[in-house]
Amino acid sequence: MKIAHAGHAELLVVNLEASKKFFTETMGLFITEEDTTSVYLRAWQDWEHHTLILTKGEKSALVHLGWRVESPESLEQYARHFAEAGIAYKWIEVGTERGQGRALRFSSPSGVPMELYWEIEKYHTTDPELISALPSFPQKYPLSGIAPRRFDHFNVMVNDVAREQAWITREMGIKHRYFVEGQNGQRRGSWLSISNLSHDIALMHNRTGSGARLHHKHGGKIEWGPGKHGTSGATFLYFFEPSGHRVEVWTGGMLIFAPDWEPIRWSQESEVLGFDMWGTKAPESYLTSGSEIAETAEAGATITR
């Protein structure tokens, strides 16, 4: 029973055409499929059918975060584990999400909607303008937009970081890598990964206390940066797309290979270097603002042990 990697996110957007234009022309993502309500996109070196779904909605919000498991057996094992642990879940049947097979949908204690899947179409192009001469590349390197190489990680805001982190580690098997702790012992942030990346998902304390929010996803108003996170060593830039979702582009970051890695503690005193070792302070919006959770996510109750 194991998750392989962070897979994709589905976002509701209030202006589908404007967001589509932004993610294709400014960000340099590619459309795999689209219809009147949804657009499926991927970065140029993503091998899966999609890593981002934009769906037309009345408000901008998160529908779900998708994680790919290591095998078909892992998907069934997670279902049995959730049932035994009293964690509410439901099956998303084949055909519900284009390019993807059956999936297991559930929510974290904070109400963050997630799904696990195994079957996914592999990207393949017959477009001569996109076919790469390099077999290790799914397509040619794009010559327009920011052109991120791949989808990297999720970032969500929650009221209780420590509780959310403990649940994700215990029930999903995602390892805790490093964290920031306040003077009163309150967890201000935790970063977790299942791969050798510094983090596949980040959890940030929601200072407004308004519950779970999507903080950002890959990727035009600039919010913060360029800067360099001391916690991971990655260079970053944060900005907003037309429907209001925060987008981060980043490069670099440490890799983790040790199987017995222990979470690294950052104190509140060193937090400013953790946010940006180049010396800029995080804007207030970065600490308090995030995309809501969509009502269509049907978060439901989650029973924790």
Domain boundary (66, 96, 117) is at 117
Q: Which domain holds residue 111?
A: 3-117
Number of structural domains found in the chain: 2
Is 195 part of any domain? yes
For 234-284, what is each residue's pLDDT tens digit? Answer: 999 999 999 999 999 999 999 999 999 999 999 977 878 898 999 899 999
- Residue 217 above 80 pLDDT? no
From residue 260, alpha-carbon distances to 170, 191, 233, 256, 263 in Å are: 16, 16, 21, 10, 10
Instruction: Confirm whether 102 is domain-assigned.
Output: yes
Q: 203, 158 in Cβ contact below 8 A?
A: yes
Cα–Cα nearest to 233, from 181, 286, 177, 184 = 177
Confidence of residue 109 (pLDDT cuts 50, 70, 90): very high
pLDDT at position 298:
45
Amino acid identity, position 123: Y
Q: What percent of the chain has pLDDT over 90?
A: 84
Instruction: With respect to residue 303, please indicate whether it lies within any of the assigned structural domains.
Output: no
Work out the average pLDDT over 177-196.
Answer: 93
- Position 163 pLDDT exceeds 80: yes
- Span 121-141, mean pLDDT? 95
Distance CA 96, CA 300 (A): 19
Please give the structure tokens belonging to residue 152. Answer: 């990297």
For residue 144, is it within any domain? no
86: exposed, middle or buried (Cβ count in 10 Å: 0-12, 13-18, 19+): exposed
Q: Residue 296's pLDDT is what?
A: 54
pLDDT in the model for residue 218: 47
**Residue 208, pLDDT score:** 85
CATH of the domain at 112: 3.10.180.10
Last residue of a domain, one of 60, 94, 117: 117
Mean pLDDT of the chain: 92
Could you give the 3-state DSSP secondary structure of residue 170? helix
Instruction: Judge if 87 and 198 occupy the same domain.
Output: no
Judged against a pLDDT cut of 60, whether residue 299 lies above it is answered with no
Task: Write out pLDDT tens, residues 14-59.
Answer: 999 999 999 999 999 999 999 999 999 999 999 999 999 999 999 9
pTM for this prediction: 0.92
Rounded Cα gap, residues 268 and 254, in angstroms: 21
Q: What's the pLDDT score for residue 290?
A: 92
In terms of phi and psi (left: phi > 0; alpha: psi -120 to 50; beta: otherwise), the region of 99 is left
178 HSE (CA, 13 A, CB side): 19
Mean pLDDT value across residues 107-131: 96
CA distances from 223 to 19, 241, 285 (A): 17, 11, 8
Assess whether 102 and 176 both reside in one domain.
no
61 domain residue, yes or no: yes
Rounded Cα distance between 9 and 11, Å, is 6
Mean pLDDT of 56-67: 97
Asked, for residue 21, whether it belongs to a domain, the answer is: yes
Instruction: Show the tokens assigned to 218.
Output: 């890959």
Q: How do beta strands 213-218 and 221-228 pair? A: unpaired
Residue 155 bridge partners (DSSP): 202, 216
Residue among 294, 304, 299 at smallest CA distance from 62: 294
Q: Is the pLDDT of residue 225 over 60?
A: yes
* Of 303 and 175, the one with more pLDDT: 175
For the segment 117-125, the average pLDDT, to the nearest whole number, is 97
pLDDT bracket for residue 144 (50, 70, 90): confident
Same domain? For 109 and 172 the reply is: no
| Residues in a beta bridge with 33 | 40
Q: Say whether both 36 and 169 belong to one domain.
A: no
Please compute the mean of the pLDDT values over residues 197-223 and round it to a whole number.
82
140-152 b/e (C-beta count within 10 Å ≥ 16 → b): eebeebbbbeebb
